[in-house]
Amino acid sequence: MFQNQKVSYSGVQPSGNLTIGNYLGALRNFSTYSDDYKCLYCVVDQHAITVRQVPADLRRRTYETLALYMACGLDPEKTTLYVQSHVHEHTELAWILNCFTMFGELSRMTQFKDKSAKHADNINAGLFTYPVLMASDILLYQTDVVPVGIDQKQHVELCRDIATRFNSLYPDTFTIPEPIVSKSGMKIMSLAEPTKKMSKSDENPNAVVYILDDKDTIIRKFKRAVTDSDTEVRFAPGKDGINNLMSIYACFTGKTMEEIEAEFAGKGYGDFKLAVGEVCADALAPVQQRFVQLMADKGALEAQMKKGAEEASYIARRTVSKVEKKLGFVQLR
């Protein structure tokens, strides 16, 4: 579709303030593909309403997420950046794909199980069919690769199954996408409960480091991070808290676990936690500066949303027409 160029596609929900989990697991890796792939990255606001949102917060975070994409190095001249609800083909294709997705497949999704336990008073159908909308996001653009954190890998695998099923009935409709999970940053854990994923919707702000936290806050949060009663900085089974901090340090410095162990040999957890806070804050500082500049011009962000939606719609329309034709829907000219 793009003169033989491969396509990279991903998205982030504006469902909370973005965390270093989102940054290391997803955002930071998006620009890796900018030179060789046609890249489309979306602010997936329709996914966010599977959980109740305060409208003003959702609106503000939609601008912020777009600004963070750019602040993290995505160039809107080279990359299509847009908001999901501005391209109606996402929900159009999602309905069709719903008819090619099995109830049993959706019931096995671990995110559905986790989120229904967390939001027991609002287990809505959208929460259940979320992976179908995600499959539609990806398949609309004939995507080759989907850079995601490991928590989303299961959804991309389901997307592959749906596309393969559709292609077996209606050949050559969709490109089958590959999930790309970067080894470092694949799953950053909560600082308060290190067996649990760090999530932007966590109610405990001390469990989470936000991309926009200031340096003092970042250092304070790392200092308070839950660790074990050992004192040696060592990557080992059962040391979930320290393992997580070592992974974060490795992501920001590019060092191996052995190098980190050697660097902190003979030093205690206190020194190590301070060092993790410092490298994290230093890495995020330029992103934060750029973010402030971008947020100061809402008009420019809206112009970007419009441009991105036009680019995305053009491609999405072609895929939906192809799908509808194959299904036997009457096409009016």
Residues that bind ligand AQP (CB under 6 A): 12-13, 15-16, 19, 21-22, 24-26, 148-149, 151-152, 185, 187-188, 197-201
Catalytic-residue membership of 326: no
Nearer to ligand AQP, 35 or 203 (CB): 203
User: How many other CB atoms are there within 10 angstroms of residue 205's CB atom?
Assistant: 13
Q: What's the min distance (Å) between Cβ of 67 and ligand AQP? A: 15
Q: Which of 38, 78, 113, 197 is catalytic?
A: 197
* The one catalytic residue among 113, 187, 200, 326: 200
Cβ proximity to ligand AQP, 19 vs 175, nearer residue? 19
> Which residue's CB atom is positioned nearest to ligand AQP?
25
Cβ atoms within 10 Å of 2's Cβ, excluding its own: 11
d(C-alpha 66, C-alpha 43), whole Å: 7
Question: Closest approach of Cβ 24 to ligand AQP, in Å?
Answer: 6
φ/ψ (deg, to 5) at 71: -65, -25
Euclidean distance between CA atoms 230 and 137, whole angstroms: 46
Helices (H), 228-297: 240-253, 257-263, 269-295
Q: Which is nearer to ligand AQP, 74 or 323 (CB)?
A: 74
For the CB of residue 147, give the shortest distance to ligand AQP in the complex, in Å: 7
Q: Which of 38, 115, 221, 273 does the annotation list as catalytic? A: 115
C-beta of 250 vs 323, nearer to ligand AQP: 250
Rounded to whole angstroms, how far apart are CA atoms 156 and 179? 6
Q: Give the chain's end-to-end CA distance (angstroms, integer).
A: 22
| Known catalytic residue at 78 | no
- Identity (one letter) of the amino acid at 131? P
Shortest Cβ 183–ligand AQP spacing (Å) = 12
Dist. CA 68–CA 215, nearest whole Å: 18
Which positions are catalytic?
115, 197, 200
